[in-house]
Structure 1
Amino acid sequence: MPPHTYVDVMIILEREGRILLAERAHTGYADGRLNLPSGKVDPGENVTEAAVREAREEIAVDIDPAALRPVHVMHYRNPEGQARVGWFFATAHWHGEPVNAEPHKCAGISWHPADQLPAHTVRYNALGITHYLKGAPFSTHGW
């Protein structure tokens, strides 16, 4: 059987030169590290629908799909050897104020300068943000 490739979506919420990051907690993977609001695409869902759903579930904001700009796609193999394709979407337009809507998986949310990410940002996310800031539409990492 061929290896399964996960399709992920990451949402870059932009506000005054800052982006929103969430601190992972109680998940068993990268706890204590910062990541973008994100998640896997569910069966029957396209990447834009997944990004809208994840934003609603994780930070309680509503995003019009038309407001999401695809800014980077990454083919990534994590340190455990698992293949992933990550779609990074950016937006400065949403409804509601972001809050930690999943306290059982997140210790808190905070805004950070996009060009000065904290050292404990999840590498997958940090790479995608860096490529976005450089205007690179596609990358591969971990191969």
Structure 2
Amino acid sequence: MIRHAHVLEIVDLYAERFPERAAGLEPLRALIAEGGEVTSRHEFRGHVTCGAVVRDAEGRVLLVHHRALDRWLMPGGHLEAVDRTLLGAAARELAEEVGFPPEALRVPLVWHEVPVHIDRHGIPANPKKGEPAHEHWDFRYLFEVADTAITLQAEEVLDAAWRAPAEHSQQLVDILEAAKAP
């Protein structure tokens, strides 16, 4: 299981890389200081998730059509007990959702432990799962792949597509632009 000390270490590395974003991380630090179990998906004041910004040799980015949210998103999801690092959790989620084995993933050395983006966003209530509306703190890591063949996990993912970043959102364009300059 990922420890809070690891989450705070990664938050510090990210804030050092992106000082202009440091203030936005204070609510996460405060929640941890208050004893919030931010590595548990049952912490409804907010919890950490991990995502993958996956880029192919042509600069396209992998997006998945998320079944529960009915939206095109970057692959990712909740932390699991087997996870030891946030980067490892992002790689695990990528393998689960689209079938990329860890050995097929390349993380640019400069981004090895530092996420290219940490996003705080609201998740709507899910009465089927007994979950109230809550927040995710999504730690997004950059991965590069040579082989773009995917195997979908139909339980969570309806479809996947390789797209130019501008075809998705300005946020994705901004994330990739930030990833160019460590």
Change (3 A) 1:135 1:103: same
Give yes or no for contact 2:90–2:140 (8 Å, CA) kept in 1. no
Tell me by how many angstroms 1:57 deviates: 0.8
Look up the match of 1:5. 46
CA RMSD in angstroms, aligned pairs only: 2.8
Secondary structure at the counterpart of residue 102 of structure 2 = coil
* TM superposition outliers: structure 1 runs of 4+ over 6 Å: none
Higher relative contact order (CA 8 A, sep 6+): 1
Q: Deviations over 1:9-63 (max 9, x none)?
A: 11111111211111122x3xx22x1111110112462211211111111111123
Larger deviation, residues 103-112 vs 68-77:
68-77
Look up the match of 1:72. 117
Look up the match of 2:19. none
Percent sequence identity over aligned pairs:
19
CA distance in 1: counterparts of 2:117 and 2:52, whole angstroms:
11
Q: TM-score with structure 1 length normalisation?
A: 0.69
> Which among 52, 66, 85 is matched to residue 91 of structure 2?
52
Larger deviation, residues 85-94 vs 1-10:
1-10
Look up the match of 1:110. 161
Q: Deviations over 1:78-130 (max 9, x none)?
A: 46652221111112136773221x1122221111111221xxxxxxxx57524
**Structure with more of its chain in strand, by fraction:** 1
- For structure 2, the residue ranges without an aligned partner over 5 or more in a row are 1-34, 37-43, 126-132
Q: Which has the larger radius of gyration?
A: 2
- For structure 1, the residue ranges without an aligned partner over 5 or more in a row are 118-125, 137-143
Look up the match of 1:62. 101
**Structure with more of its chain in helix, by fraction:** 2
Q: What amino acid maps onto 2:162 in structure 1?
A: W
